[in-house]
Structure 1
Amino acid sequence: MNIFSRYLIKNVFLGFAAAAALLIPLFSTFDFINELDDVSSGGYHWTQALMVVLMKLPRCLIDLGPFIALLGGIIGLGQLSKSLELTAMRVSGMSVFRIGMNALCAGIIFTVALCALDEWVASPLQQRALQLKDIAEARDDNASGSANTLWARKNNEFVTIKTLDEYNRPVGIEIFKYHKDLTLDYYIYAKTATIIGNGIWTLYDVNQKKWADGKETSTLHDSMPWQSIFNHTSLKELMMPSDSFSIRQLNNYIDYLQTTNQPDLEFRIALWQKLGQPVLILAMILLSVPFTFSNPRAPGMGSRLATGAIIGLLTYVSYQIIVNLGLLFSFSAPLTALLPPILLLALALILVNRFDKKH
């Protein structure tokens, strides 16, 4: 790698930093405004909402990765083009394709860093933030319930858990057991529970209802044992949405869903999106190259950034639509999550090659 390549990579990274400095505060503000809708006097306070937003900043950075890649590439290469440094590199024998490959090298480093951040920083922090919010909302008697309520099934037994307390103990447990003819055998509601071990839970403040011969009987218990349908997978992980999972957690959750005969397509798509996101970021970096060489002087940087933001937004929305359509129509998870980024990367490579021949 010569001095020109190192200089290019450095300026592209400066562009990434400038794009991140512009986008992250903006989207974090929107996130904070959204969190304020859940604030209440008896449970979730604004200080906790602010803490949740701060803990989700790494996730925000990862989600904005494609935007940062496109806008950062436009800023970094655009500044070099404006100062005629790219022209000097071209005169020294550097082709447009080689400039694009150097930008791609910066993108690979950026992508690897984001993947490591996602696996070991963003996912744990986001889960802690969601748990903090759930615990705060559970203290509010007027709250409608946690957004992360867990449903599980094993054979003819269904279980729902409202939330977990600060000690990761289940709160608001409902158990439904059906006969083979789908008539209800019994229903159990317990305010709290403790996990003893070997799949045994102790339920507290229990209301148990049974149906037999057309009659209903109701019994109250201070406590009672229950053979849990959950396996070794952590309840804290099971309560979390798929976008907060690391790759390891997604694999564990998919195994759990398959073991209990529950649908797992959402989580398989989320797993393959972990691979699709880096490809999408690399494609967006390459798309910044045509912006740089379209015309160095006109339109201005502001117009290019606005166009890049529109393209980035359309790409993000289109990708989410495709993912949700794949979930709705049960398409192949790898095909749904990987095909659009790969096609976009191929298109970007074609455009870079075209501009290389043109210039």
Structure 2
Amino acid sequence: MKIIDRYLILNVFLGFAVAAALLLPLFSTLDLVGELDDIDEGYRLVQALEVVFMTLPRRAVDLGPFIALLGGIAALGQLAVTQELITLRAAGLSATRIGMTTLAAGLILAVALAIANEFIASPLQQKALQTRSQAMASTKGNSKDGSIWGRRNDQFARIGSLRLGHIPTQVEVFEFDEQARLQQYLYADYADIQPNGVWELHNVQVKRWTAGEESFEQRDRMTWQSILPERRLRDVSFPAESLSSRQLYHYITFLRGSSQPSAQYEVALWEKLGTPLLTLAMILFAVPFAFTQVRSTSLGSKLALGAVVGLLIYLVNQIIMNLGILFGLSPPLVGTAPALAMLGVALFWVFRFDRKR
């Protein structure tokens, strides 16, 4: 049996390779077309190609469930066409037994994609986003990636952008009293991050309101005890989908500690944990596709039907994620329940197919 298991796993991995070779160039071309719209004097074609290349691992991770489904259908479907699956069934191997061997290949793929997401895809995607924003800022005159907010007690802080990825610019600090009345407003052009959370602010404007009177002060430099996580400041400027699981966990901890909403990032974290489960579900769905109507249905038709099923599952999963954030549902439930449900359906389908046969 070990020889048969190795043979099946080898064929499934060949199917994964074929599916990846078809899907990755297609989606990378679409990504490049999207980047071409932003090409200008600062952001050139060479940089656009570099950005697309650096986001290729992220695209592979995102397409992992599709690769598992289509690769499994291609591998098992080809074995069905050559009558090898029928031979294995005649030798006493059940569909469940073949499905579990296929699931083992899917488990290896899911673990590999999870490791790649953590240590390859996320760092490269963040580097690509930084390269893109810096190149576009060189001609558009700013490097704004989106504001970064922080809060501690009655003090709020905002950073307009990060110059060169690590220099806070357009720094604003708001201080309120116990009645939620603004007591002090501070604005600085940029800040130098010092040890122990101290920032040296430059070109500072300070406004204060005391007993109904307003005062104004202009300073060249001023120190400020930051309430923002300077060790991970660059991380929090990136979109949630580009962060690794560790970065998401640390940022969620910061948001909770500063009484800010963190549902979007919690769902993103649990979605990353649910993606391997969805990959396993997809590879199991390939088993009934391979066995159903072997003679009357061509391999191309099965692949087309599998692509439609995969797309529907992806759309349903995204709808559930967004509805979960909108209605404030439990992030662990929103992030993993769809994948667990699909895995349960796939297992039921395989076992039911075996009983019917």
Same topology, TM > 0.5? yes
Counterpart CA distance in 2 for 1:77 and 1:267 is: 38
Counterpart CA distance in 1 for 2:7 and 2:106 is: 14
Q: What are the within-5 Å matches in structure 2 for residues 143-222 of structure 1?
A: 146-166=144-164, 168-212=166-210, 214=212, 216-222=214-220
> Bigger CA drift: 110-119 or 176-185?
176-185
SS in 1 for 2:202: strand
Letter of the 2:56 counterpart: L
Counterpart CA distance in 1 for 2:320 and 2:165 is: 39
Q: What are the within-5 Å matches in structure 2 for residues 216-255 of structure 1?
A: 216-231=214-229, 233-255=231-253
SS in 2 for 1:139: helix
Aligned to 2:28: 28
How far is the alpha carbon of 1:217 from its aligned partner?
A: 4.3
Aligned to 1:291: 289
Aligned to 1:75: 74
SS in 1 for 2:234: helix
Residues 135 and 163 in structure 1, CA contact (< 8 A), matched pair in contact too: no
Counterpart CA distance in 1 for 2:273 and 2:12 is: 23
Aligned to 1:46: 45
Letter of the 1:203 counterpart: L
Letter of the 1:34 counterpart: G
C-alpha distance after superposition, 1:42-98 (max 9, x if no partner): x43332222121111111101001111111111011111111111111121111111
Aligned to 2:330: 332
Letter of the 1:19 counterpart: A
Residues 147 and 161 in structure 2, CA contact (< 8 A), matched pair in contact too: yes
Aligned to 1:303: 301
Letter of the 2:325 counterpart: L
Structure 1, unaligned runs of 5 or more:
none
Residues 145 and 237 in structure 2, CA contact (< 8 A), matched pair in contact too: no
> Bigger CA drift: 221-230 or 75-84?
221-230
How far is the alpha carbon of 1:192 from its aligned partner?
A: 1.6
C-alpha distance after superposition, 1:217-248 (max 9, x if no partner): 44433222111112464111121222122222
SS in 1 for 2:194: strand
TM-score by length of 2: 0.94
Counterpart CA distance in 2 for 1:190 and 1:140 is: 23
SS in 2 for 1:354: helix
Residues 130 and 165 in structure 2, CA contact (< 8 A), matched pair in contact too: no
TM-score by length of 1: 0.93
How far is the alpha carbon of 1:324 from its aligned partner?
A: 1.2
Please state if 1:97 is matched with 2:105.
Answer: no
How far is the alpha carbon of 1:123 from its aligned partner?
A: 1.3
The percentage of counterpart residues that share the same residue type is 48
* Cα RMSD for the two superposed structures: 1.9
C-alpha distance after superposition, 1:266-319 (max 9, x if no partner): 222222112211110000111111111111133222221111111111111111
Aligned to 2:54: 55
Q: Provide runs of 4+ in structure 1 moved above 6 Å.
A: none
Residues 233 and 252 in structure 1, CA contact (< 8 A), matched pair in contact too: no
How far is the alpha carbon of 1:212 from its aligned partner?
A: 4.2
| Pairs aligned (count) | 357
Aligned to 1:342: 340
How far is the alpha carbon of 1:36 from its aligned partner?
A: 2.9
> Bigger CA drift: 214-223 or 145-154?
214-223
Aligned to 2:260: 262
Residues 157 and 174 in structure 2, CA contact (< 8 A), matched pair in contact too: yes
Counterpart CA distance in 2 for 1:353 and 1:36 is: 48
Change (3 A) 1:139 1:222: farther
Letter of the 1:252 counterpart: H
Residues 158 and 176 in structure 1, CA contact (< 8 A), matched pair in contact too: yes
Residues 233 and 256 in structure 1, CA contact (< 8 A), matched pair in contact too: no
How far is the alpha carbon of 1:336 from its aligned partner?
A: 1.1
Residues 174 and 184 in structure 2, CA contact (< 8 A), matched pair in contact too: yes
Counterpart CA distance in 2 for 1:131 and 1:160 is: 20
> Bigger CA drift: 238-247 or 95-104?
238-247
Aligned to 1:11: 11
Structure 2, unaligned runs of 5 or more:
none
How far is the alpha carbon of 1:142 from its aligned partner?
A: 5.0
C-alpha distance after superposition, 1:5-25 (max 9, x if no partner): 111111111111111111111
Counterpart CA distance in 2 for 1:176 and 1:222 is: 19
Counterpart CA distance in 2 for 1:230 and 1:132 is: 24
